[in-house]
Amino acid sequence: MQSQAPHANQRPPGGFRHGIWACWMVLALSLGLSAFAWQESRRAVDHHLNSEFNALIQETRRKLDERITDYTQVLRGVTGLFAAAEGRVSRDDFRRYVTTLELDLHYPALPAVAFARHVRAQDLDGFIDEMRRSGIEDFSVRPPGRRDAYVINAFSEPFVGGNVKALGYDMWQDADRRATMERAAASGQPMITRRITLRIDETVNPVPAFIMYLPVTMNGEILGYVLSPFRMPTLLQDLLGRNDEFLSLAIHDGAEATPDTLFYRSRPEDNATPRLVTRQTLEVGGRRWTLEFSSRPGLEAAAEIGRPWLVLGLGVAFSLLLFGITWSLSRVTDRAEAIADEKTRSLRENQSLLQGIVDNSSAVIFVKGLDGRFLLVNSVYETLFKVTKADIYGKTDFDIFPREVAEIFVENDRKVLDGGAALTIEEEAPHPDGTRTYLTVKFPIPGIDGVPIAICGIATDITEHKTATARMAEINSRLESQAEQLRRSNAELEQFAYVASHDLQEPLRMISSYAQLISRRYGDTLDRDGQDFIAFMVEGASRMQAMILDLLEFSRIGRREDQPTDINAADGVAATLRNLSSAIQKTGAAVEYHDMPHIRVRSHQFLALMQNLIGNAVKYRHPGRPPAIRITARRDGGMWEFAVTDNGIGIQPQYFERIFLIFQRLHTRDKYEGSGIGLAICKKIVEHHGGRIWVESVPDQGSTFRFTLPAAGESDG
Ligand code: ADP
C-alpha cells in the first residue's frame, strides 16, 4: 500500500525566477528609498537655504533703510538750521554748519549739501543782487530766460570745484527735479529724483546717482529746498559687509530691471546662475526701487547644497550593494533549494521504494523507534493485526497487545539493542483466531554515526511449519520404533533360520543314514513297494539336507561382520568360471567379459553372486543353441552397473519379481535341477552392498540380469 500524500514543502517550478524577482524588488525598494531620502534631504537643504537667504535679505534691507535714514538726517539737520534762524541763513552760516558735518568722513556718498532758493519772477532781480552782494560778483541764473518761478542753487558746500559751478542753476525748469520738489513740498518729506548721472561726475567718473530734496518752509511759505546728490556706489559701499560672500544685491530704479535702470550692483555678476533670486520693492523718497537679491556660492556651500547628491550617491551605491548581496544570496538559496528538492525527491523515491518492497513482502515487517513507538509497518502487519498505518504510527506494543505479550516483545527489543546485533527469536502473538508463532529477525538500524536509531523486525509465521514439524517428529519416532521392532524380529528370524537349519542337519543326517541302513540290511526282505518307499525317503532327506544347506548359506549373508575390500571384478569372474568349468565345457557355452571395473565388495559374496547368475545362464540354456554369455559393466555415479546377458529360454515378464523370492521356481525339478534360492541369495548379497538387482528378458530369446555394486574406493554402503 503506497501512501503518497502530496508533500507540504513541494516547491512550484520557477523558484529561481521568484528569487530573481525578489532581488529586483529589493533593488527597486532601496532605490526608491534612496530617491526619497534624496528628496527629503533636498527639501531640508532648500528649506535651510531659503530661510538663510531670507534672513540675509531682511538684514540687508534693514541696513539699507538705516543707511538712507542716516543720510536723510543730514538734510533734516539743514532744515533745522533754517528754522532756527527763521530763514535768515547766510552763506557763511551754511558753510559753517556743513563743515561741522564732516561730510568726507561721515557721509562720503554726499559730494555736496546745497540750498536752492524759491524765487518768483518779480523777485528774480532782487535775488541776483542779493547774491552778488554776498560776494559772488558774476552770479547769474542758468539757464537764462524769463520764467514764472525759479528754484535756484544758492548755497553749495563744500564750496569747491563743481559745487562752485553749480551755483545759479535753476532746478525748477528741469521737469524731473521739479516733479520731485513738488512731491516733497506737498508731503513735507524728503523726495528723490530718478536715476541720474551727476554733472560734476559726467566727465570724470559717471556713476549712478540721485538727488534728494527736502522743502524749507517759513510761515507756510516754501522758502526753498535743501538738496543733496547721492552717489549710489558710495552710499551703499560695504552695505553687505561679510554677507557679500553669501548674497549679492542689485538695485534698479523703478519697477523694471534692465541694464538702463541699474542703480547699484554689490559686485560684478557671478558666472554661475544663482540658485535663489528674489525681487522686492523698496520705497525711497517717493520712488520705487526694485531690489534683486541673488544667492552666492558661499551660501550654497554653507547650506551643504551638495548633501542630497551625496545622499543619493550613497543610497544608489548601497542599493546596488544590497542588490548584489541579495542576488548572490538568492543564487545560493536557489542552488540550495534545487539540491534540497533533488534530495527530497530521491528520499521520497527511496521511501516509496522501501514501502513498495516492504509492502510486497510476505513477512511481517515493522520498525520501531528507540522509544518503542512504531515508525513503519507493512501491509501484512496491517492485515494480520487488524490495524492501519495511521492508527499504529506513534503507538507502542502496549497499545496493541496484552500487557504480558507486549512486555516480552519490548524485552526482546532491549536484548537486540543491548547486543547491537541481529537476533532471531521465536515470538508468539495473539490473533482473533488463536495464538500464532513467528520467527522474528530483529536488528538495530544504525544512524549516520553508527549509533542505533531504530529497531527493525522481520517476522515469518511459522505456526504451520511448527505443527508439521511436530507431526513429523511424531511419525519419525513411530517409524523408528517400528523399524526397531522389524530389525528385532528380522534378527530373531535369521537367528531362528540359522539355528533351525544348523540344528536340523543332525536329525536329518540320522534319518538319511538309518534309511540307507534299512535299505542295505533289509532290502532283500522288502517287496518292491517297500524298497521304493525307502528310496523316496532317502532322496527326500537328502533334498531337505540340500535345502537346509542353502538356507544356512542364505541366512549367513550379513551375519559375518567382515569388511568389503577393493577387488578387480575380472578376477572374481575368472574364479567363478574356473568353478563352473565342467558345466561350461559340457554345454559348449561361450563366456565373454572385458573392461571389468574395480569394486568394493566382500569377495566371497561377489563370487557366490556371479556363480549363481552364470550358473543359471548355463542351466536355463535354449535347447536349440549353445549358451552365449556376455558380462559387461558401466559406471553409474558411485556405483558400477553389471549386466549378465544370456541367449537362454528367457522369462515371462510377470515373473520378473517373483524369481528373486526364496524357494520360488518356475520349473519342476525333473526339468531343471534347483532349490529356488539362488536369486534370493543374489538379491540379499547385492542389497547388503547397497545396490539393487533386476531382470530384463524376452522369452525364448534370452535374459539380462543387471545389478549395481559400489565402485572401488567409494563408501561401502
Ligand atoms: P533354481 O535355479 O534353483 O531354480 P533360482 O533362484 O536360481 O533357483 O532361479 C529361480 C528361477 O528363475 C528358476 O527356477 C528359473 O525358472 C528362473 N531362472 C533363473 N535364471 C534364469 C535364466 N538365466 N534363464 C531363464 N530362467 C531363469
**Ligand 1 contacts CB of residue 540 (under 6 A):** no
- What would the pLDDT profile of 367-381 be if each residue is shown by its tens digit? 999 999 999 899 988
**Ligand 1 contacts CB of residue 622 (under 6 A):** no
**Ligand 1 contacts CB of residue 224 (under 6 A):** no
What is the best residue among 609, 616, 661, 701 to mutate for testing ligand 1's pocket, by most ligand atoms within 8 Å of CB? 616
pTM above 0.75, yes or no: no
Atom of ligand 1 at shortest distance to CA of 648? 24
What is the best residue among 611, 620, 654 to mutate for testing ligand 1's pocket, by most ligand atoms within 8 Å of CB? 620
**Ligand 1 contacts CB of residue 627 (under 6 A):** no
**Ligand 1 contacts CB of residue 695 (under 6 A):** no
Atom of ligand 1 at shortest distance to CA of 666? 16
Atom of ligand 1 at shortest distance to CA of 676? 8
**Ligand 1 contacts CB of residue 185 (under 6 A):** no
Reduced to 3 states, what is the DSSP secondary structure of residue 629? Answer: strand
pLDDT of residue 479: 93
**Ligand 1 contacts CB of residue 251 (under 6 A):** no
Atom of ligand 1 at shortest distance to CA of 705? 23
- Residue 6's pLDDT band, with cuts at 50, 70 and 90, is very low
- What would the pLDDT profile of 273-310 be if each residue is shown by its tens digit? 888 899 999 999 999 999 999 998 888 887 777 788 88
What angle is formed at CA 629 by the lines to CA 628 and CA 635, rounded to 5 degrees? Answer: 145
**Ligand 1 contacts CB of residue 666 (under 6 A):** yes
- What would the pLDDT profile of 66-97 be if each residue is shown by its tens digit? 999 999 999 999 999 999 988 889 989 999 99
Q: How many CB atoms lie within 10 A of CB 354?
A: 14
- What would the pLDDT profile of 30-72 be if each residue is shown by its tens digit? 899 989 999 998 898 889 889 999 999 999 999 999 999 999 9
The C-alpha cell that represents 373 in the structure block: 513507538
**C-alpha span between 693 and 610 (Å, rounded):** 12
What is the best residue among 631, 663, 665, 705 to mutate for testing ligand 1's pocket, by most ligand atoms within 8 Å of CB? 665
Nearest CA to ligand 1 atom 3: 674
Sign of CA dihedral 559, 561, 564, 570: negative
DSSP alpha helices (H): ranges in 304-428?
307-359, 379-385, 389-392, 403-419
The C-alpha cell that represents 674 in the structure block: 534347483
For residue 297, cis peptide bond before it (omega within 30 degrees of 0): no
**Alpha carbon of 623 to ligand 1 centroid (Å):** 15
Nearest CA to ligand 1 atom 21: 616
What is the best residue among 613, 659, 664, 667 to mutate for testing ligand 1's pocket, by most ligand atoms within 8 Å of CB? 659
Select from 423, 420, 456, 454 the least CA-distant residue to 439.
Answer: 423
Nearest CA to ligand 1 atom 19: 616
**C-alpha span between 489 and 320 (Å, rounded):** 110
Q: What percent of the chain stands above pLDDT 90? A: 52
What is the best residue among 679, 686, 696 to mutate for testing ligand 1's pocket, by most ligand atoms within 8 Å of CB? 679
- Which run of H or of E encompasses 91? helix 91-101
The C-alpha cell that represents 22 in the structure block: 525578489
Cα 696 → chain centroid: 81
**Alpha carbon of 522 to ligand 1 centroid (Å):** 40
Select from 653, 654, 646 the least CA-distant residue to 701.
Answer: 646
The C-alpha cell that represents 434 in the structure block: 488463536
**Ligand 1 contacts CB of residue 620 (under 6 A):** yes
Q: Which amino acid, one-letter code, is at 316?
A: V
- What would the pLDDT profile of 529-576 be if each residue is shown by its tens digit? 888 888 888 888 888 888 888 888 888 887 766 889 999 999 999 999
Q: Indicate whether 198 pLDDT > 60.
A: yes
Nearest CA to ligand 1 atom 16: 666
pLDDT of residue 17: 61
**C-alpha span between 644 and 682 (Å, rounded):** 13
**Ligand 1 contacts CB of residue 613 (under 6 A):** no
What angle is formed at CA 211 by the lines to CA 210 and CA 213, rounded to 5 degrees? Answer: 150
**C-alpha span between 641 and 708 (Å, rounded):** 4
**C-alpha span between 160 and 637 (Å, rounded):** 167
